[in-house]
Structure 1
Amino acid sequence: MPIDSPTRLPLRIQGGETGGTPGWASPADGSSPTTETFFTASRVAILHGVTQGDVYRNGHNSWSPTGWRSLADQPLRVANPVRRNTADDTRWDDPARHHSSWVIALASETGTLLLGCLGGDTPRLHADADVLSAWTETGKTGEWVLLEGQEQAVFARYRQLLADRYGVLDRDPGAVWSSWYSYYETIAHSDLAEVVPQLPALGFDTVQIDDGWERLVGDWQPNDKFAGGMRDSVRLIGDHGMRAGLWIAPFIALPGSEVVRRNPQMLLRGTDGELVQAGTNWGSHYYTFDFTRPDAQEFLVDTVSRAVHDWGFSYLKLDFINAATIAGVRSQDVDREQAYRSAIETIRAAAGPDTFLLGSGAPVFSSLGVLDAVRTGPDVAPMWDNYATDDPSDATAHNSASNAVSRLWMRGLIGLDPDVVYFRHRRNLLSEQQMQWLKDIATLSGFPAISDPPAWIEPEDHAELREFLTGSPATEQLDRYRFRIDDRIVDFGPLFVDEDSPYPL
């Protein structure tokens, strides 16, 4: 039967109990109210009665595919198991059922039903033709909420419930210039000396040095391209009135790194006693640490303290941090997402409350109230699609944009970084419309960032760039894919239509 009131839902809860009669809640944005039921359970199953509708799937980490799929369609997932080990959660992948991390929603003609976790150990959810199901990985009781109402209203209410519980670090990320999508791993202090003096006039106030400054991933000391030390780069950036930011991946280490050779006892191992491969990049697998060990915690504190307090960086991009959620045998028996949260809390304590912390590869739910912002999708690229892959977690502008739009409901809960936009026309295969979509997504996310060296940007585009970096237009969400930016309507619907499929992407 159709769902038109939570009191009619055939709700079955295993290992817990409901919080009483559903009540009404009015979202703060003035949209239509929702009905809500709170309950505690280790597992829950809800017979939804929807025959035709769309499922909202939220991926495990920043890069994990997120968005809406038809209930009758195949689930949105990373099919390649090697890539999935880096870009999603291998343990609960399901090729047949729609699966999600910490929240799932089902939208139909009768409204939207949202089932979300408020607190619990590695919360996971499934949806199929009959049932919405949810559970905690450890089997311990979790706290959940069931919301029904208009689509935007239920997401707004869930956002508010999470904000009330975990708090919001409402800090401006600034106008960021990143070295990655222009210099990649070749970045050197000499490149910064050329680029940095040109940035303030264009509206930038933050310079983030990305991957390429370190000796090797895991050994967080400057290489020969930064022979004067990282303090020299911080000083250069500060002398031009800007904040210095640094990319670092403190939760992982490549096999050839010094920390792996000298401190193998700190690394996470599996039940077989072998080192756990936490993911792949740089042409290799990499390892992660058991951060329940005091020596691994000390290593983490030393790494972060050196970057912030010795070198002077006040903005850290923490990359590949999903590695701390990998399953393994830890010295303390804790939930794996709680192990991750404890590790980022260690970083926060070491860095101090004023350091801006951006997480990439971040499990969003476990980051709430600790990180200032998270990446919301895969890496962007100066091409819309890649003919060689259909992996929704691969680095393309389309994958980055679709994920970012699908996570815009989280703005106001945690900072959202949709990755950089492009103003350059050289070395760029994006159309004007595609470039505009990226700019609009960044504006709606509240996170303006680019990676183009000023020399690659045409002089006639400088005024638009300054407005993008420094403007603060009024924004409003109109429906799932349509937004208002000042007086302009932006429709992202075409991003989610596959001409070869009858279903939305």
Structure 2
Amino acid sequence: MTKIKSPEINKSQIIKAKNIQIELPAQPVKYYRHGWQSWSMAAWTDVKSLPIQKPAIFHPLQIDVEYAYESNPHGSWLGAVEFADGKILLLGALSTDTHVFQIQNQLEGKSEADEAEWFIMSGDENQVFDEYIKQLKIRFGHTEKNHVPRVWCSWYSLYTMIDEEILFKTFDALGDLPFEVLQVDDGWQKKIGDWEVNEKFPSGMKALADKIKSTGRTAGLWLAPLIASKKKKKFFLNKKLFF
């Protein structure tokens, strides 16, 4: 275990180690948990243990299963703590197969493979994360892309529990929040592979799209085009859509 003291404000460092431990200068008030995959939570949270969601069977599906019942604050690849003065300290790996924990007054990083490079920096949140991103770009490369729209997706707020009334109310409640696309996700179709609107949307998808457009945004719709039921007439009439 490589042990180091808390770094100076606004000074980053990179250390090679399999496992690393940073002594924190004060008791943190928040911990940044970084999710393992798209279903995992990525957010600033209390430093105490979080309750396991119900039904509990879903819990191991949304987190790296090896750490599903870890009681200390933790996350995949990186972790950060926030102090009472608003400054943060980030410990982030510049490789994969790593995990970060807050254990009492320490941040600990663990590599599940070989020795890893660890980025460490303390300071303002935006500056610290910007510097970390720069180092990730150096290691992994990046591509310049055209503008990527801000998307609100029903999956992350409502999962599959959507219907026409709920979505209409939600679209109104979004007000002038800076979303450019409102995407209707899983729950609108009859079933996976049967891409026709179900009974929860009696006005049809055009009405839903028109409602979204009335807010000044682009309408989006999720489907999985490589999954199709052979029993559906539209599948045979529109095979070119799937192949």
Q: TM-score, normalised by structure 2?
A: 0.65
Report what 2:110 is aligned to.
Answer: 135
1:103-161 per-residue CA deviation (whole Å, 9 max, x = no partner) reads: 101111342100000124x10011132111111113x2011011111111111111121
Find the residue that maps to 1:61 and give its secondary structure.
coil
Cα distance change on mapping 1:380 and 1:137 into 2, 3 Å: same
CA distance in 1, matches of 2:90, 2:38: 21
CA distance in 1, matches of 2:152, 2:62: 12
The alpha-carbon deviation at position 86 of structure 1 amounts to 2.5
Cα distance change on mapping 1:58 and 1:165 into 2, 3 Å: same
Report what 1:145 is aligned to.
Answer: 119
1:410-421 equivalences under 5 Å are: none
The partner residue of 1:435 within 157, 170, 174 is 174
Q: Is the 8 A contact 2:92 2:119 kept in 1?
A: yes
1:230-286 per-residue CA deviation (whole Å, 9 max, x = no partner) reads: xxxxxxxxxxxxxxxxxxxxxxxxxxxxxxxxxxxxxxxxxxxxxxxxxxxxxxxxx
Report what 2:63 is aligned to.
Answer: 88
Cα distance change on mapping 1:378 and 1:96 into 2, 3 Å: farther
The partner residue of 2:49 within 74, 91, 95 is 74
CA distance in 1, matches of 2:40, 2:94: 21
The partner residue of 1:453 within 205, 208, 229 is 205
Report what 2:199 is aligned to.
Answer: none
Report what 1:97 is aligned to.
Answer: 72
Q: Is the 8 A contact 1:64 1:377 kept in 2?
A: no
CA distance in 2, matches of 1:79, 1:123: 27
Report what 2:187 is aligned to.
Answer: none
- Residue 125, structure 1, aligned to residue 100, structure 2: yes
Report what 2:31 is aligned to.
Answer: 55
1:269-280 equivalences under 5 Å are: none
- Code of the aligned partner of 2:118: W
Write 1 or 2 for the structure with the bigger share of helix: 1
Cα distance change on mapping 1:145 and 1:151 into 2, 3 Å: same
1:100-119 equivalences under 5 Å are: 100-110=75-85, 111-119=87-95
The alpha-carbon deviation at position 168 of structure 1 amounts to 2.0
Cα distance change on mapping 1:166 and 1:95 into 2, 3 Å: closer
Structure 1 runs of 4+ off > 6 angstroms? Answer: 173-176, 375-378
Report what 1:65 is aligned to.
Answer: 41
CA distance in 2, matches of 1:377, 1:134: 33
Report what 2:195 is aligned to.
Answer: none
Q: Is the 8 A contact 2:77 2:98 kept in 1?
A: yes
The partner residue of 1:45 within 21, 32, 39 is 21
Report what 2:213 is aligned to.
Answer: 462
The alpha-carbon deviation at position 94 of structure 1 amounts to 3.7
CA distance in 2, matches of 1:462, 1:376: 14
Find the residue that maps to 1:84 and give its secondary structure.
helix
Q: Is the 8 A contact 2:21 2:107 kept in 1?
A: yes
Find the residue that maps to 1:91 and give its secondary structure.
helix
- Code of the aligned partner of 2:35: G
CA distance in 2, matches of 1:56, 1:36: 18
Find the residue that maps to 1:59 and give its secondary structure.
coil
1:344-401 per-residue CA deviation (whole Å, 9 max, x = no partner) reads: xxxxxxxxxxxxxxxxxxxxxxxxxxxxxxx9999235x5xxxxxxxxxxx279xxxx
Cα distance change on mapping 1:376 and 1:431 into 2, 3 Å: closer
Report what 2:234 is aligned to.
Answer: none
Report what 2:12 is aligned to.
Answer: 36
1:298-313 equivalences under 5 Å are: none
1:22-421 equivalences under 5 Å are: 34-71=10-47, 73-75=48-50, 82-110=57-85, 111-120=87-96, 122-138=97-113, 140-172=114-146, 379-380=155-156, 383=158, 395=159
Residue identity (%): 17
Q: Any stretches of 5+ residues in structure 1 without a counterpart?
A: 1-11, 24-32, 177-374, 384-394, 398-421, 471-505
CA distance in 2, matches of 1:93, 1:458: 42
- Code of the aligned partner of 2:167: N
- Code of the aligned partner of 1:158: Y
1:176-196 per-residue CA deviation (whole Å, 9 max, x = no partner) reads: 9xxxxxxxxxxxxxxxxxxxx
Q: What CA RMSD, in Å, does the superposition of the two structures yield over aligned residues?
A: 3.8
Find the residue that maps to 1:379 and give its secondary structure.
helix
- Code of the aligned partner of 1:13: T
Q: Is the 8 A contact 1:63 1:379 kept in 2?
A: no
CA distance in 2, matches of 1:95, 1:378: 30
- Code of the aligned partner of 2:213: H
Write 1 or 2 for the structure with the bigger share of strand: 2
Q: When the two structures are aligned, how many residues end up with a matched partner?
A: 197
1:422-443 per-residue CA deviation (whole Å, 9 max, x = no partner) reads: 9x96453744564348x53x44
